[in-house]
Chain A
């Protein structure tokens, strides 16, 4: 269907910037329009990739938890928290993987995996203080590497201000 979702979003952005914003009288309304523009940009960036990212992340999370389970299983000694964690991971891994590619379903599955990863990472952080649990550190690093990849997809309000370009000009003596 044309315009596609992304074409429509870009059209809304253009209308907001070229038609609506110039008519706004108050500084507060203009600021709200700029924020709406940033929000639309954020959504547009997600439009094509959200489902694929969630699908890939869910597989990665499942693999990471499986690796964690293996690493804990290979330890010569454990503790109550890690034993309970293995049980919980085993339970989650035993469930069939969802087949739906709907964002709603992928998100629900992602939250289940991330919830379990949250508890796992806290246990690994505490384990990182003890030499006996040193063999768990590679999987801890693998989890952080995954979380870094996910976090790097986001952007932030201080990125959108074009500060760097303006500063480069200022430092070069161009005060326009």
Chain B
């Protein structure tokens, strides 16, 4: 049983803890990359009762993303010390002996929601939408201001030059399409070709790119405060416009209108971001990164579909996403102007 094994693990990690007990262990829906479990831990230490709400993130059998969990752990740990709101990271475990697969354990931030349905449509959150929008931009600027050298994040791979950021990302996601496509993908292949023929100017500076910064990946309280940025699996060093564009792509607008992240007008997003970062928004560069963002999302769906078809996962969401990349193709063609 997961609960007993997790108790054993925590007992090993907390030698000073007595009477350690776990409760309310439940699997959180969503999260197509790693299994996410919530639980409460209580113990006695130095004569006092200690209680913590914790989150377990465990590697799945198959995923839409094939990433190393230690990258996510190390980066979240590093940016926490830089004032970026993320859960505190507690333990990283690569050895499968404890819970069959690698995992990490982090703080559970209480009283918040991540679901776009709730954050964008629940009336409590809807009243606070301008606060959510302002926080969304301000935190992105803070991530892009992280001194990644001082934080020791060079292990993420430093682009050889600011001009190589785009080519590196094209190559990364083309390789995923090469690896995981189970059938011809004329739109994605043509888009990759288009991207190589329309490279953006060099990055204005090389920053820490979250690479999945969007509505649905932050923890938000009903008063509109964003208390945690989640899902750092794809984090890397690169062009800040990549995050600006990813946050703006149609799938993450959610509401069927043109509001970025379902939160704000694009012009306002650009204005606030430029003011906070002193970076210039190049709309052609953002278009490039939006096309690449849609290609990337389609590639992620293809990975999920392959995992399903190879019987490495029973997740129906992976199958469903794989069958439905048509809307991404339409968006890619719209953005290419063809």
Contact = CB atoms under 8 A, between A and B. Distances in A.
B184 A155 contact: no
A12 interface: no
Contacts of A1: none
A151 B294 CA distance: 14
A102 interface: no
Contacts of B96: none
B329 A118 contact: no
Given A28-B26, A167-B121, A39 B319 contact: yes
B194 A121 contact: no
B254 A161 contact: yes
A147 interface: yes
Nearest to B38: A27
Among A114, A126, A154, find the residue whose CB has the most chain B CB atoms closer than 10 A: A154
A103 interface: no
Contact of A26 (B26, B193, B326): B26
Dominant secondary structure at the A interface: helix
B183 A154 contact: no
B338 interface: yes
Interface string A150-167: 111111111101011011
A170 B29 CA distance: 26
A2 interface: no
Given A26-B27, A31-B29, A118-B184, A157 B338 contact: no
Nearest to B127: A175
A35 B190 contact: no
A39 B189 CA distance: 27
Given A27-B29, A163-B117, A155 B189 contact: no
Contacts of A144: 333, 338
A42 interface: yes
B32 to A, nearest CB: 10
B279 interface: no
Interface string B303-338: 000000000000011011101111111100100001
Contacts of B117: 161, 163
B98 to A, nearest CB: 21
B316 A153 contact: no
Contact of A28 (B28, B183, B262): B28
Contacts of B317: 35
A122 B190 contact: yes
Nearest to A27: B29
A158 B26 CA distance: 25
A114 to B, nearest CB: 4
B204 interface: no
A97 B324 CA distance: 28
Given A125-B197, A151-B326, A151-B329, A31 B30 contact: yes
A164 B262 CA distance: 11
Given A27-B28, A36-B316, A114-B183, A122 B193 contact: yes
B43 interface: no
A122 B193 CA distance: 6
Contact of A151 (B187, B190, B197): B187
B319 to A, nearest CB: 6
Contacts of A161: 116-117, 254
Contacts of B30: 31
Nearest to A30: B29
A125 B329 contact: no
Interface of A: 26-28, 30-32, 35-36, 38-39, 42, 111, 114-115, 117-118, 121-122, 124-126, 129, 140-141, 143-144, 147-148, 150-159, 161, 163-164, 166-167, 170, 175
Given A143-B186, A156-B251, A163-B262, 12 more contacts: A27-B26, A39-B320, A42-B323, A42-B324, A121-B189, A125-B190, A125-B193, A147-B187, A155-B324, A155-B326, A157-B324, A166-B121
7 contacts: A39-B320, A111-B184, A118-B189, A122-B190, A126-B197, A157-B321, A161-B117
Query: Which 9 A-B pairs give the minimum distances between C-beta atoms?
Result: A154-B326, A31-B29, A175-B123, A151-B326, A114-B184, A156-B327, A28-B27, A151-B329, A125-B193
